[in-house]
Chain A
């Protein structure tokens, strides 16, 4: 037993070292990279991956394919912007209020919609996003098609306003990590099991005592709230928002990192985002003046190739690859799953 424990401890230590090094790299990047262009790409990776993780809670984990996440993000951006500009509320506080508002709106709107299954839910999510966008375009309060701007001014943590990109980089990274930990926590919790059961089969879920509607609402509310947080971050970063933020194409864009990376895994959107977004931005910067749309074209091609040849995404491929075996045995020194399980169970019962 003690030998097994030691092996598990070594594995956990190695895992912590590898993850620590990765994190350290990301923390140190702004110390060496001063180009605002490169930093901008990282900020983009952070918030788009976060948005994609929000989608993945609903799409990947619960099997409800939403194509309306740009709308939640947009609504969150609008809510926090208007709270800042019209009500004079502190940005940090209005971010929280915005999340609550969007969570409520999503919950109320989707409560009746969750009697719909499969493609119907996707269609309603598109219609909801478009209806919301049209509503904003027609509403003077929301600034119609011309949008809402946030005031510029001196750098301030209190007002979450900076001339440099570096503070946004760190806040974005923190947001990404927090949301990742939240998703990881959900995945391992009762809610995570309920959501995955619903994804596999709603009738089977009901048969073991899961109320599918209740859990789907929980998923949609959490997902929409995270999207609203991303909206707040986006608005604070760009300092200007308009209804274009909520078009269907943006919702699609928020899904791509998850599907390319592997929608069945919490890490999928991170892997997909880290690979796809820099590539897309590089293409956009390099060729968009001669060939507009080339970055999205590349996105589409990669998406089609992944779905056609690697339906479980990059991570799905990695999980069954020789690379993983190599990493597990040689670098992490991962003990066999039975040993891990035994030690884990022993540890858990020791705790009580």
Chain B
């Protein structure tokens, strides 16, 4: 594994009409690894995520991908740069079959399929990989949450990314489903895809991530290995401490 940084975020700030959602956040993502971002609700995780993925530009700051400034790139240019993402609120193409969902993705991105055969073959391969093959003829709206989450990943993978952003891909899953999702994410990473994920489920973050970034009130308050972060007193206080307090 190399130590080069695939993503570098430098001092990004986002203000919505006077409300500062993200304030001067900097971090980097190591190529080939799995990096996680955690933080309580309203910490600015999704805002940061959306800025990196081109949904809206940061008010201040710069984002680099493999040394190239991508701050002002449009969302639809990302798959051409080998970057893909999933959505927290799943966006399956409801009235299309699972297969069609993935075929649609195969047609776009840097390695866009040239013809129907290529698109279908790639879709089949991705469906095997993500374990949706048996369900390929079901309409995606008729599937349950775990499968829809898988489909989100399958659609992203069909664009052949080198960098994958996962936005709360395990929210709403039960422990067994979470474990299956963790296995899948690890498998994706082992196939050579760098992963950056936002997650609420601690178990997932601890078992997957090599590095963790903690946001609170729009600011980065800690980063390091999961063990380092969990033992950080400030993190315990604002994030985990609060959670324990709420549970008590």
Judge A-B direct contact (beta carbons within 8 Å): yes
The CA-CA distance from A124 to B9 in the complex, in Å, is 40
The CA-CA distance from A48 to B159 in the complex, in Å, is 40
B65 within 8 A of A: no
Contact assessment for A194 and B107 in the assembled complex, using a CB-CB cutoff below 8 Å: yes
Give A184-205 as 1s and 0s: 1 = Cβ < 8 Å from B's Cβ atoms: 0000101001101100110111
A28 within 8 A of B: no
Q: How far is the CB of A338 from chain B (nearest CB, A)?
A: 8
Interface residues on A, range: 20 to 34
Contact assessment for A193 and B121 in the assembled complex, using a CB-CB cutoff below 8 Å: no
Residue of B whose beta carbon sits closest to that of A200: B93
Contact assessment for B76 and A212 in the assembled complex, using a CB-CB cutoff below 8 Å: yes
Q: Which of A197, A337, A345 contacts B93 (CB 8 A)?
A: A197
B28 within 8 A of A: no
Using known A-B contacts A206-B76, A208-B79, A337-B137, determine if residue A196 contacts B108 with beta carbons closer than 8 Å: no
Interface size on B, residues (CB 8 A): 37
Q: How far is the CB of A56 from chain B (nearest CB, A)?
A: 15
Contact assessment for B117 and A208 in the assembled complex, using a CB-CB cutoff below 8 Å: no
Using known A-B contacts A190-B107, A194-B104, A201-B93, determine if residue A207 contacts B117 with beta carbons closer than 8 Å: no
Residues on A with C-beta less than 8 A from B100 are 193, 196
Q: Which of B85, B103, B116, B120 contacts A207 (CB 8 A)?
A: B85
Residues on B with C-beta less than 8 A from A349 are 117, 121
A24 within 8 A of B: no
Using known A-B contacts A208-B84, A209-B109, determine if residue A203 contacts B76 with beta carbons closer than 8 Å: no
B47 within 8 A of A: no
B27 within 8 A of A: no
Residues on A with C-beta less than 8 A from B77 are 209
Q: How far is the CB of B225 from chain A (nearest CB, A)?
A: 30
Q: Which of B78, B104, B158 has the most CB of A within 10 A?
A: B104
B150 within 8 A of A: no
Contact assessment for B76 and A211 in the assembled complex, using a CB-CB cutoff below 8 Å: yes
B95 within 8 A of A: yes
Chain A stretch 303-352: residues in CB contact (< 8 A) with chain B: 337, 345, 348-349, 351-352
Q: How far is the CB of A319 from chain B (nearest CB, A)?
A: 11
Using known A-B contacts A208-B155, A209-B159, A337-B137, determine if residue A348 contacts B120 with beta carbons closer than 8 Å: yes
Residues on A with C-beta less than 8 A from B53 are 207
The CA-CA distance from A150 to B108 in the complex, in Å, is 47
Residue of B whose beta carbon sits closest to that of A350: B117
Residues on A with C-beta less than 8 A from B107 are 190, 193-194
Q: Which of B95, B103, B116 contacts A264 (CB 8 A)?
A: B95
Residue of B whose beta carbon sits closest to that of A207: B85
Contact assessment for B109 and A200 in the assembled complex, using a CB-CB cutoff below 8 Å: no
Contact assessment for A201 and B91 in the assembled complex, using a CB-CB cutoff below 8 Å: yes
Contact assessment for A345 and B87 in the assembled complex, using a CB-CB cutoff below 8 Å: no
Residues on B with C-beta less than 8 A from A188 are 116
Give A296-308 as 1s and 0s: 1 = Cβ < 8 Å from B's Cβ atoms: 0000000000000
Residues on A with C-beta less than 8 A from B109 are 208-209
Residues on A with C-beta less than 8 A from B137 are 337
Residues on A with C-beta less than 8 A from B124 are 345
Give A201-227 as 1s and 0s: 1 = Cβ < 8 Å from B's Cβ atoms: 101111111111000000000000000
The CA-CA distance from A212 to B104 in the complex, in Å, is 14
- 8 example contacts (A-B, Cβ-Cβ < 8 A) are as follows A190-B108, A203-B91, A206-B76, A208-B109, A209-B78, A337-B137, A345-B117, A351-B117
Query: Hey, which bits of chain A sit against chain B, CB under 8 A?
Result: 188, 190, 193-194, 196-197, 200-201, 203-212, 264, 337, 345, 348-349, 351-352
